[in-house]
C-alpha cells in the first residue's frame, strides 16, 4: 500500500504522534519539512538552477547551498507574494518528492509495511491524494495557542496571528481519514496511536 500522511496544525503534536505511531508499529516515518531543510543545504542541480533563474544568484551561497535569509528577502520584497510562493513551491515540491522516493528506496520500503510521511501543509498543497490515507492530529484552539506561545516564546497576539493564516485544526480534522485527538495527557495520545496502528494493520495490511 502507499504511505499514509500525517498532518495537523502548528503546535498540535504531530511530531509526538509520529514517534508514537513509529513505536506502535509503523516501519518508517519521513518528515517533509526536514527533507525540505536538507534540500536547502544539499539542493539538486534542478533546484539550484530554478532558484537562480527566479531570484538571482545571490540566493545561492558560494558552497552551493540555498541562502534562506536572502531567499526570504526576495520572496517578500515584491507585491505579488502569492505568485512568488507559488513559484517556490513549484520548484521545491518536486525536489521533495524526488528525495522522498530516494529515501524510501534506500530503506527498501516494502508494500506491506505501514509507512508514514509527515506533511504539515498536506491539504493546503493538495497532496492528500498521493497517500493511501490521511491522519490529522487535532488540538483545541486554546490549547494550541498556549502551546505555541510556550514553545516559540510568543505573545498571544502573535500566536493568534500565526494561526489565522493557516488552515484550522478543525478543518484538517474534518478532511482527514483518521483523527488523533490531542486534548489530554501524552499517554492519552499514545493510546490512540497504538489503537489506530492496530486498526490499520487489521484493515489494510492483511487485505
Averaged pLDDT of the chain: 92
Structural domain boundaries of the chain?
A: 1-27+113-207, 35-108
Q: Which residues of 143-166 are buried (b: 16+ CB within 10 A; e: fewer)?
A: bbbebbbeeeeeeeeebeeebeee
pLDDT at 135 over 60: yes
Average pLDDT over residues 47-76: 90
Contacts of 200 (CB under 8 A, 6+ apart): 4, 114, 133
Average pLDDT over residues 32-46: 94
| DSSP character at residue 116 | E
Backbone angles phi, psi at 87, to 5 degrees: -65, -40
Average pLDDT over residues 101-121: 94
pLDDT at 206 over 60: no
Contacts of 9 (CB under 8 A, 6+ apart): 137, 138, 139, 144, 163, 166, 167, 168, 169, 172
pLDDT of 207 reads 52
Better-predicted residue by pLDDT, 82 or 43 = 43
Q: How open is the CA angle 204-108-191, to the nearest 5 degrees?
A: 45
Cα–chain center distance at 177: 17
Average pLDDT over residues 76-102: 85
pLDDT at 76 over 80: no
Rounded Cα–Cα distance for residues 43 and 159 (Å)? 32
Average pLDDT over residues 37-52: 93
Residue 1 binned pLDDT confidence (cut-offs 50, 70, 90): confident
Q: State the fold for domain 1-27+113-207.
A: Rossmann fold (3.40.50)
Average pLDDT over residues 60-82: 83
Average pLDDT over residues 85-101: 92
pLDDT of 79 reads 59
pLDDT tens readout for residues 147-156 = 999 999 999 9
pLDDT at 104 over 70: yes
Amino acid at each position: 500500500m502507499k504511505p499514509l500522511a500525517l498532518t495537523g496544525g502548528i503546535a498540535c503534536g504531530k511530531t509526538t504522534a509520529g514517534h508514537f505511531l513509529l513505536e506502535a508499529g509503523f516501519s518508517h516515518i519521513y518528515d517533509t519539512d526536514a527533507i525540505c531543510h536538507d534540500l536547502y543545504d544539499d539542493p539538486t542541480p534542478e533546484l539550484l538552477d530554478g532558484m537562480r533563474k527566479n531570484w538571482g544568484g545571490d540566493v545561492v551561497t558560494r558552497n552551493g547551498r540555498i541562502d534562506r535569509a536572502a531567499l526570504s528577502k526576495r520572496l517578500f520584497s515584491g507585491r505579488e507574494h502569492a505568485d512568488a510562493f507559488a513559484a517556490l513551491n513549484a520548484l521545491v515540491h518536486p525536489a521533495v518528492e524526488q528525495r522522498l522516493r530516494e529515501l524510501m528506496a534506500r530503506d527498501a520500503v516494502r508494500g506491506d509495511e505501514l509507512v508514514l510521511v509527515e506533511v504539515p501543509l498536506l491539504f493546503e498543497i493538495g497532496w492528500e491524494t498521493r497517500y493511501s490515507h490521511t491522519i490529522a492530529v487535532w488540538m483545541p484552539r486554546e490549547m494550541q495557542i498556549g502551546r505555541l506561545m510556550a514553545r516559540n516564546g510568543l505573545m498571544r497576539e502573535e500566536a493568534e496571528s500565526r494561526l489565522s493564516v493557516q488552515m484550522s485544526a478543525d478543518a484538517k480534522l474534518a478532511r482527514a481519514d483518521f483523527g488523533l485527538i490531542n486534548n489530554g495527557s501524552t499517554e492519552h495520545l499514545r493510546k490512540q496511536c497504538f489503537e489506530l496502528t492496530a486498526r490499520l494493520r487489521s484493515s489494510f495490511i492483511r487485505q
